[in-house]
């Protein structure tokens, strides 16, 4: 049989992210950035696999990156998943990337997943919500990392210096099923502008600041194609496409005013010109030919944009900045989320690979992870940190709240706090790093001290 | 119409006329000698030509009680309860022989049967009484368990489906405790009743299986021996009555049915069975003619086809467990269901949707077609409600399924597609019990599949089925609605005050159409918790510019004053004229009837069903009890919260109710406006196509 339940999956794996600048490089595209010692893309692929979605299209920005990602996927998932890797040019928007693979989409609905999601949300529920409402768009929302953002909101008024966290402003109807408004926090300067016509249609709207768009969407394929072809100006899914669709639904008055019974509106017997009562059938069940005439024609299928709000117990976050990268890495080993990585947890609540060698009087605290083949010297202390594979760490090293990727050499007496250290980095003796990001292959000289810096090799070298 | 209603108000022991009533019999009834006192309602109805109420002596009592016009109290039933058994049995015996053939044969046979076996007619009739009371009031169920023999008699004689289903739990109990002897002994009565039963519908026994199971070992052996002997002497030709009757024992033990009327000669049977031991009789007459036997077999096959499978009873733990294994959705049954409605499915709300969602992408042999899955989800979340909408959605989903269907290797389309549709239907049932209209549509579709010629290619078969589905939707629903609107609009005059309940799409179309025709009228929308469907209707009507009044059903009696017409929708109309509809309809119809307001039911004929139902207990749907607990927008109303923890509280949220035909002035169908008594005519004349199960 063809695609299951007539859903196709597009994974937008991205390429080089500017936000994650020192961490990603030509060698390590964003999709392969290790999170909990595994590439971030693997979380998405495994989520899809767990949901029995095995035919995927992975879109990667940049030819080189595509080759690397494709190579990794075939190596890791050979025989388990059927993945097509499509390369698009760099520096194009997500919607453009989607446009590039549009011709491969054939079935009713498309699930578009960002490649940097770490989550355990049941995809079936999103798809079911999408189908149930016969929606044009279903976006998954999850509660944003609440505590930090709540503080951020309150504090942004006072000190502008602090970077405003990119929260989304989401407008929902009272039943929490329809998406009425969506703007990302970075776009909004001071005011949120909501058109009065929208309020006129829906009576009530709730504005949520505590929800985050998880960049996981289900689209109606026919309408998606039409919109993308007609409006070439749409560059980004989040910033252009979704708001466009959300705006369109109120334009055609498709939203049931405030209550959950969308059918109630659909069932209203229309009258056509001849005065004959038109049958309710056309409205209750859209006949197949009704989908095709086009989204922009008012008589066509009603547009509804829905949301699926992930339930409280589910984890969902994205690796889209250095801060979130650090958070996710910590979350990965922080107790409950370990199951996502599939590692077994020891009694000390940490994950130490059996092949790792640990010197005497070295302590690996709880919520830590040490990859295979790594060697730790004597009298080291590792707290709330992740140490990758085949790292060589000398004596008297302290690693706190940090991520150390693979093949890193750390010599004696180093202190690493709150930092991310990429692969093949060499820290010479008694280097002191605090809140730094160190790009791949960088060499930190002995006795140097860095604070809140992004260190990386010149790209030319 | 006015005069007719006036007359109806006066009639005290009401006679229900269901089906075709010949004028002669109607005239004859008042002329029949009316016995005095308590038994007065009994003979009247026993004499009535209704095919529905023939077999049970005392069910008529209940029906007369429930159809009594509103303000009249019902003393007869009380008297029945209070009277000593001897008094009750007396009029039965004394009256029946002088009555018509029907009543007399039944009464006497039962009496003789009872007397022969138990020698205690009074206790039997007491049991009868208690059963009738139970089915009337649906309260005193425990009374049934006391006198098992009597009940088993009543039950095996009762071919009225609703009578059995009226007290399902106790019925089962009675079956389990009754001795096999009792059942055998009651067979003669069954056959007599069956011979008398005019309507084949009455022959449907809702639960033949327990009967079969309860035959004792000796009887089974006897049957087996008889069959063996019959085989051995297959060449012998003879038409021995006793032998045939013997064959009938076997049949009737398996399932009571009207087959015996073909054989006739019911007066001989009591003699045969009076010696209680079929072994003896089989020894006496081992020879059975072969052609008779084969004919019997064939007829039995036909019967099996005709008799629908007994509806799933959800208080039967084994069957529920079996059904659970087969279903895609994990279902947790609600714990404290209301005792009386235990036979209806009810699952913990909120557990079904997540389990269904989690299965969305799973590949599973049970996994339905995406369109059907979608429709099932929409049923489950109540996003598609209303008989027509649900039916159309289901048919469209099946249309998609057939479109995508391809016959697997080594299978025939007819069989495989039928099996596929069956599994899809059972999936839809797990999402929400299907409505009667959907059942009819499914039957239609299956009939069409079964009647496909073998020679036709797969493409053509699919094409023709899709065309049939489209035609069904067009003709039976869309055009039917238009016709109903045309008919109904003629009944709306200027200055009318029209009342409706809930939200019926046909009624809405009627109101809007009448408004567009320029008629001046007002609308009263009566609504009821918890779904408050009337609000949607109200909003749409107001949007069109109609003049509306909105009230809840508590105020029905007030709102009804000044109303000139009541228009109601229906989920189904049953062959005794009972209107099965959204809960609250019966109440509105009753108030309207009491105040002399004509009640028009708007219903397409595809929703008609041959079933007979006297109450809303035996077949209904349970809604989410939590819906009653919370009041939308009233956070301060929380006294019932956490009710599930209390052992003593059962919250009942019924979805449908049955409106007796007496409250219905007229049923507006696409075939015209008919009285509720004419429903069987429509069923008979316009459903010539045989349904295949």
Which residues on A lie below 8 Å from B481 (Cβ)?
Answer: 277, 279-280
Q: Do B360 and A123 touch (CB under 8 A)?
A: yes
Domain boundary among A278, A293, A327: A327
**Residue B488 and residue B569 in contact, taking contact as beta carbons nearer than 8 Å:** no
Q: What is the Cα B375 distance to its own chain's centre?
A: 26
Does a structural domain hold residue A339? no
d(CA A168, CA A178): 16
Structural domain for A446, as ranges: 347-455
Mean pLDDT, rounded, of chain A: 75
Q: pLDDT tens-digit profile of A274-283?
A: 333 333 333 3
Residue in B377, B473, B503 closest to A128 by CB: B377
Q: Does position B580 have pLDDT exceeding 90, yes or no?
A: yes
**Are A103 and A238 part of one and the same domain?**
yes
End-to-end CA distance of chain B: 41
Mutation target among A9, A175, A256, A277 for the B interface, most CBs of B within 10 A: A277
Under 8 Å CB-to-CB from A122, ≥6 apart: which residues? A51, A314, B354, B357, B358
Q: Do B374 and A131 touch (CB under 8 A)?
A: yes
Domain boundary among A266, A294, A327: A327
**Are A306 and A373 part of one and the same domain?**
no
**Are A233 and A354 part of one and the same domain?**
no
Q: Does position A296 have pLDDT exceeding 70, yes or no?
A: no
How far CA B427 is from CA of B162, B366, B405, B415, in Å, comes to 27, 8, 17, 18
Task: Report the SS3 class of residue B525.
Answer: strand
| Residue A429 DSSP label | T
**In the prediction, which pLDDT does A284 show?**
33
Does a structural domain hold residue A16? yes
Closest CA in chain B for residue A267: B505
**In the prediction, which pLDDT does B554 show?**
92
Q: Do A269 and B536 touch (CB under 8 A)?
A: no
Encoding tokens for residue B132? 């009738």
**Residue B453 and residue B461 in contact, taking contact as beta carbons nearer than 8 Å:** no
Q: pLDDT tens-digit profile of A369-428?
A: 888 888 888 888 888 888 888 888 888 898 888 888 888 999 888 898 888 888 888 888
**In the prediction, which pLDDT does B555 show?**
92
Q: Do B540 and A264 touch (CB under 8 A)?
A: yes
Give me the CATH number covering residue A189: 3.90.550.10
Q: Does position A292 have pLDDT exceeding 60, yes or no?
A: no
Residue with tokens 């049934």: B144
Does a structural domain hold residue A460? no
d(CA B6, CA B207): 41
Q: Does position B486 have pLDDT exceeding 90, yes or no?
A: yes
Specify the DSSP element, H or E, that contains B464: helix B458-472
Identify the residue with better confidence: A124 or B146. A124
Q: Do A279 and B482 touch (CB under 8 A)?
A: yes
Closest CA in chain A for residue B375: A132
Residue in A131, A133, A263 closest to B389 by CB: A263
Q: How confident is the model at residue B341 (pLDDT cuts 50, 70, 90)?
A: confident
**In the prediction, which pLDDT does B303 show?**
59
Under 8 Å CB-to-CB from B655, ≥6 apart: which residues? B582, B583, B620, B621, B622, B623
Q: How many CB pairs under 8 A join A and B?
A: 105
Q: Does position B168 have pLDDT exceeding 80, yes or no?
A: no
Mean pLDDT, rounded, of chain B: 68
Q: Does position A266 have pLDDT exceeding 50, yes or no?
A: no
Helix axes B387-404, B370-380, angle to 10 degrees: 160
**Are A155 and A262 part of one and the same domain?**
yes
Residue in A264, A271, A279 closest to B516 by CB: A271
d(CA B533, CA A410): 70
* pTM over cut 0.80: no
Q: What is the Cα B279 distance to its own chain's centre?
A: 38
d(CA B161, CA B159): 6
Encoding tokens for residue B610? 């041959």
Q: Does position A338 have pLDDT exceeding 90, yes or no?
A: no
| Average pLDDT for B504-529 | 93
**In the prediction, which pLDDT does B489 show?**
94
Does a structural domain hold residue A256? yes
Does a cis peptide bond (omega within 30 degrees of 0) precede residue B530?
Answer: yes
**Are A430 and A289 part of one and the same domain?**
no
Q: Do A52 and B363 touch (CB under 8 A)?
A: yes
Region of B502 please: left (phi>0), alpha (psi -120 to 50) or beta: left
**Are A246 and A354 part of one and the same domain?**
no
**Are A16 and A128 part of one and the same domain?**
yes
Q: What secondary structure does DSSP assign to A342-383, as a single string?
A: TPPP-TTS-EE-TT-EE-TT-EE-SS-EE-TT-EE-TT-EEE
Cα torsion angle, A214, A215, A218, A219, sign: positive
Cα torsion angle, B529, B530, B533, B538, sign: positive
Residue in B377, B388, B512 closest to A132 by CB: B377
d(CA A362, CA A366): 13
Q: How confident is the model at residue A238 (pLDDT cuts 50, 70, 90)?
A: confident
Does a structural domain hold residue A404? yes
**Are A210 and A359 part of one and the same domain?**
no
d(CA A146, CA A210): 7
d(CA A457, CA A28): 14
d(CA B58, CA B528): 35
| Average pLDDT for B132-150 | 41
Encoding tokens for residue A460? 């030319």
d(CA A256, CA A263): 8
**Are A273 and A380 part of one and the same domain?**
no
Q: What secondary structure does DSSP assign to B80-135, as a single string?
A: HHHS-HHHHHHHHHHHGGGS-HHHHHHHHHHHHHHHHHTS-HHHHHHHHHHHHHHH
Which segment of A96-105, A321-330, B367-376, B584-593 scores lowest on mean pLDDT? A321-330
| Average pLDDT for B339-355 | 77
**In the prediction, which pLDDT does B233 show?**
67
**Are A220 and A288 part of one and the same domain?**
yes
d(CA A282, CA A290): 9
**Residue A368 and residue A382 in contact, taking contact as beta carbons nearer than 8 Å:** yes
What is the DSSP pairing of strand A375-376 with strand B599-602? Answer: unpaired
| Residue B193 DSSP label | H
Which residues on A lie below 8 Å from B388 (Cβ)?
Answer: 280, 284
Q: How confident is the model at residue B162 (pLDDT cuts 50, 70, 90)?
A: very low
Q: How confident is the model at residue B261 (pLDDT cuts 50, 70, 90)?
A: very low
**In the prediction, which pLDDT does A151 show?**
41
**In the prediction, which pLDDT does B360 show?**
79
Q: Does position A349 have pLDDT exceeding 50, yes or no?
A: yes
**In the prediction, which pLDDT does A188 show?**
62
**Are A230 and A352 part of one and the same domain?**
no
Which residues on B lie below 8 Å from A267 (Cβ)?
Answer: 386, 389, 505
**In the prediction, which pLDDT does B183 show?**
40
As for the ipTM of the complex, it is 0.77
Chain A residues near any Cβ of chain B (below 8 Å): 4-7, 51-53, 108, 122-125, 127-129, 131-134, 257, 259-264, 267-269, 271, 275-277, 279-281, 284-285, 287
- Residue A360: CB atoms within 10 A of its CB come to 9
Encoding tokens for residue B170? 């106790």
Q: How confident is the model at residue B418 (pLDDT cuts 50, 70, 90)?
A: very high
Min Cα distance A225 → chain B (Å) is 21
d(CA A121, CA B613): 47
Which residues on A lie below 8 Å from B373 (Cβ)?
Answer: 5, 131
Which residues on B lie below 8 Å from A281 (Cβ)?
Answer: 392, 473, 477-478
d(CA B466, CA B605): 21
Residue in A131, A261, A262 closest to B377 by CB: A131
Spatial CA neighbour of B385 closest among A69, A266, A278, A379? A266
Q: Does position B354 have pLDDT exceeding 50, yes or no?
A: yes
Which segment of A157-161, A319-323, B15-19, B343-347 scores lowest on mean pLDDT? A157-161
The domain total for chain A is 2
Does a structural domain hold residue A461? no
- Residue B265: CB atoms within 10 A of its CB come to 14
Q: Does position B494 have pLDDT exceeding 90, yes or no?
A: yes
Under 8 Å CB-to-CB from B480, ≥6 apart: which residues? B604, B605, B606, B669, B670
Which segment of A11-25, A367-381, B371-385 scores lowest on mean pLDDT? A11-25
Domain boundary among A277, A294, A327: A327
Task: Report the SS3 class of residue A418.
Answer: coil
Which residues on B lie below 8 Å from A122 (Cβ)?
Answer: 354, 357-358
Mutation target among B356, B358, B361, B474 for the A interface, most CBs of A within 10 A: B361
Encoding tokens for residue B546? 């109609």
Closest CA in chain B for residue A260: B383
Query: Which alpha helices (H) appear in B141-237, and where do they start and end?
Result: 148-157, 161-166, 168-177, 180-196, 208-213, 217-232
Specify the DSSP element, H or E, that contains B467: helix B458-472
Q: pLDDT tens-digit profile of A86-139?
A: 888 887 888 888 888 888 888 888 999 988 888 888 888 888 888 888 888 898
Mutation target among B355, B360, B370, B392 for the A interface, most CBs of A within 10 A: B360
Q: Does position B564 have pLDDT exceeding 90, yes or no?
A: yes
Q: Do B377 and A277 touch (CB under 8 A)?
A: no
**In the prediction, which pLDDT does B520 show?**
94
Min Cα distance B583 → chain A (Å) is 19
Q: Does position B499 have pLDDT exceeding 90, yes or no?
A: yes
Q: Which residues share a beta bridge with B566?
A: B499, B599
Which residues on B lie below 8 Å from A310 (Cβ)?
Answer: none
Closest CA in chain A for residue B475: A279
Q: How confident is the model at residue A213 (pLDDT cuts 50, 70, 90)?
A: confident
Does a structural domain hold residue A338? no
Q: How confident is the model at residue A186 (pLDDT cuts 50, 70, 90)?
A: low
**In the prediction, which pLDDT does B210 show?**
46
Does a structural domain hold residue A94? yes
- Sequence length of chain A is 461
Mutation target among A4, A269, A274, A288 for the B interface, most CBs of B within 10 A: A269
Give me the CATH number covering residue A369: 2.160.10.10
Identify the residue with better confidence: A125 or A456. A125
Q: Do B540 and A133 touch (CB under 8 A)?
A: no
**Are A34 and A101 part of one and the same domain?**
yes
| Average pLDDT for A21-26 | 74
Cα torsion angle, A26, A30, A32, A34, sign: positive
Q: How confident is the model at residue B194 (pLDDT cuts 50, 70, 90)?
A: very low
What is the DSSP pairing of strand A420-421 with strand A403-404? Answer: parallel
């Amino acid at each position: 049989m063809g695609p299951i339940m007539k859903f196709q999956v597009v994974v937008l794996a991205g390429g080089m992210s500017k936000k994650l600048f020192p961490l990603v490089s030509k060698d390590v595209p964003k999709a392969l950035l290790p999170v909990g010692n595994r590439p971030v893309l693997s979380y998405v692929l495994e989520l899809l696999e767990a949901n029995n979605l095995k035919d995927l299209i992975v879109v990667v920005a940049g030819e080189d990156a595509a080759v690397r990602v494709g190579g990794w996927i075939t190596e890791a998932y050979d025989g388990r998943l059927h993945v097509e890797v499509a390369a698009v040019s760099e520096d194009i928007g997500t919607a453009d990337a989607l446009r590039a693979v549009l011709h491969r989409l054939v079935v009713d609905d498309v699930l578009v997943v960002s490649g940097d999601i770490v989550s355990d949300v049941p995809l079936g529920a999103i798809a079911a919500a999408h189908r149930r409402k016969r929606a044009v768009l279903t976006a998954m929302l999850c509660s944003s990392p609440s505590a930090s953002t709540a503080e951020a909101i309150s504090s942004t008024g006072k000190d502008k210096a602090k970077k405003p966290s990119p929260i989304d402003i989401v407008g929902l109807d009272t039943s929490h099923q329809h998406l009425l408004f969506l703007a990302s926090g970075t776009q909004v300067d001071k005011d949120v502008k909501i058109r009065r016509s929208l309020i006129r249609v829906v009576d009530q709207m709730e504005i949520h600041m505590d929800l985050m768009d998880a960049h996981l969407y289900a689209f109606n394929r026919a309408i998606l194609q039409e919109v993308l072809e007609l409006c070439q100006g749409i560059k980004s899914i989040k910033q252009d496409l979704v708001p466009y669709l959300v705006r369109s639904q109120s334009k055609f008055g498709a939203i049931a005013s405030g209550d959950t019974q969308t059918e109630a509106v659909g069932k209203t017997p229309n009258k056509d010109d001849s005065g004959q009562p038109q049958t309710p059938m056309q409205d209750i069940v859209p006949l197949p030919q009704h989908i095709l005439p086009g989204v922009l024609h008012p008589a066509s299928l009603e547009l509804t944009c829905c949301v699926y709000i992930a339930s409280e117990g589910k984890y969902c976050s994205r690796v889209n900045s250095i801060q979130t990268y650090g958070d996710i890495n910590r979350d990965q080993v922080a107790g409950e989320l370990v199951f996502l990585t599939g590692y077994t947890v020891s009694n000390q609540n940490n994950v130490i690979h059996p092949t790792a060698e640990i010197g005497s009087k070295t302590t690996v605290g709880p919520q830590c992870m040490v990859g295979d083949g790594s060697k730790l010297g004597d009298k080291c202390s590792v707290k709330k940190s992740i140490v990758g594979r085949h790292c060589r760490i000398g004596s008297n090293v302290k690693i706190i709240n940090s991520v150390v990727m693979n093949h890193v050499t750390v010599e004696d007496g180093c202190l690493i706090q709150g930092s991310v250290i990429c692969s093949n980095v060499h820290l010479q003796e008694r280097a002191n790093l605090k809140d730094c990001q160190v790009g791949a292959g960088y060499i930190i000289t002995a006795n140097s001290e860095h604070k809140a810096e992004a260190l990386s090799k010149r790209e030319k070298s | 119409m006015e005069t007719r209603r006036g007359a109806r108000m006066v009639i005290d022991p009401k006679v229900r006329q269901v089906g075709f009533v010949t004028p002669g019999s109607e005239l004859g009834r008042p002329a029949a000698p009316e016995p005095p006192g308590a038994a007065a309602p009994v003979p009247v109805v026993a004499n009535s030509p209704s095919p529905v109420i023939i077999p049970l002596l005392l069910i008529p009592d209940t029906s007369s009680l429930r159809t009594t016009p509103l303000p009249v109290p019902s003393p007869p039933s009380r008297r029945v309860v209070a009277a000593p058994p001897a008094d009750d049995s007396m009029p039965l015996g004394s009256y029946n022989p002088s009555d018509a053939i029907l009543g007399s044969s039944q009464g006497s046979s039962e009496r003789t049967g009872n007397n022969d076996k138990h020698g205690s007619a009074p206790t039997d009739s007491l049991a009868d009484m208690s059963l009738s009371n139970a089915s009337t009031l649906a309260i005193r169920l425990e009374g049934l368990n006391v006198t098992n023999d009597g009940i088993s008699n009543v039950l095996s004689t009762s071919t009225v489906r609703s009578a059995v289903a009226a007290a399902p739990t106790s019925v089962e109990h009675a079956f389990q405790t009754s001795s096999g002897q009792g059942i055998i002994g009651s067979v003669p009565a069954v056959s007599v009743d069956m011979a008398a039963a005019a309507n084949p519908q009455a022959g449907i026994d809702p639960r033949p299986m327990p009967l079969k199971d309860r035959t004792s070992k000796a009887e089974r052996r006897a049957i087996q021996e008889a069959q063996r002997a019959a085989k051995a002497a297959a060449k012998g030709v003879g038409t021995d009555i006793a032998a045939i009757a013997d064959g009938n024992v076997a049949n009737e033990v398996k399932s009571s049915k009207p087959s015996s009327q073909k054989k006739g000669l019911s007066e001989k049977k009591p003699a045969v069975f009076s010696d209680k031991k079929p072994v003896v009789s089989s020894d006496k007459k081992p020879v059975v003619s072969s052609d008779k036997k084969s004919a019997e077999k064939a007829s039995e096959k036909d019967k099996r086809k005709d008799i629908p499978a007994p509806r799933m009873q959800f208080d039967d733990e084994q069957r529920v467990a079996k059904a659970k294994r087969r279903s895609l959705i994990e279902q947790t049954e609600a714990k404290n269901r209301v005792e009386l409605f235990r036979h209806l499915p009810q699952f913990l709300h909120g557990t079904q949707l997540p389990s269904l969602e989690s299965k969305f992408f799973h590949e599973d042999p049970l996994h339905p077609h995406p369109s059907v899955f979608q429709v099932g989800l929409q049923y489950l979340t109540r996003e598609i409600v209303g008989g027509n909408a649900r039916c159309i959605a289901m048919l469209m989903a099946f249309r998609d399924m057939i479109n995508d269907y391809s016959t697997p290797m080594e299978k025939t389309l007819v069989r495989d597609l039928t099996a596929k549709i069956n599994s899809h239907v059972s999936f839809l049932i797990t999402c929400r019990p299907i409505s009667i209209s959907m059942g009819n549509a499914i039957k239609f579709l299956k009939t069409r599949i079964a009647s496909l010629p073998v020679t036709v290619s797969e493409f053509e078969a699919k094409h023709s089925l899709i065309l049939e589905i489209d035609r069904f939707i067009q003709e039976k629903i869309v055009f039917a609605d238009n016709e109903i609107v045309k008919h109904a609009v003629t009944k709306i005059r200027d200055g009318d005050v029209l009342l409706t309940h809930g939200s019926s799409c046909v009624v809405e179309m009627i109101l809007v159409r009448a408004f567009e025709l320029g008629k001046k009228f007002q609308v009263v929308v009566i609504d009821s918790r918890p779904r408050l469907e009337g609000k949607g209707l109200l909003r749409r009507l107001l949007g069109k510019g109609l003049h509306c009044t909105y009230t809840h059903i508590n105020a029905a009696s007030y709102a009804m004053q000044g109303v000139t017409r009541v228009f109601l929708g229906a989920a189904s109309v049953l062959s005794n004229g009972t209107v099965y509809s959204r809960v609250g309809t019966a109440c509105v119809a009753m108030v309207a009837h009491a105040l002399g307001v004509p009640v028009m039911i708007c219903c397409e004929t595809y929703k008609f069903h041959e079933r007979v139902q006297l109450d809303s207990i035996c077949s209904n749907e349970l809604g989410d009890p939590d819906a009653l607990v919370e009041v939308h927008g009233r956070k301060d109303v929380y006294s019932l919260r956490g009710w599930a923890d209390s052992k003593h509280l059962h919250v009942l949220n019924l979805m449908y109710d049955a409106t007796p035909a007496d409250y219905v002035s007229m049923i507006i169908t696409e075939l015209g406006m008919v009285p509720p008594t004419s429903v069987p005519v429509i069923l008979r004349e316009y459903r010539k196509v045989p349904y295949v199960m």
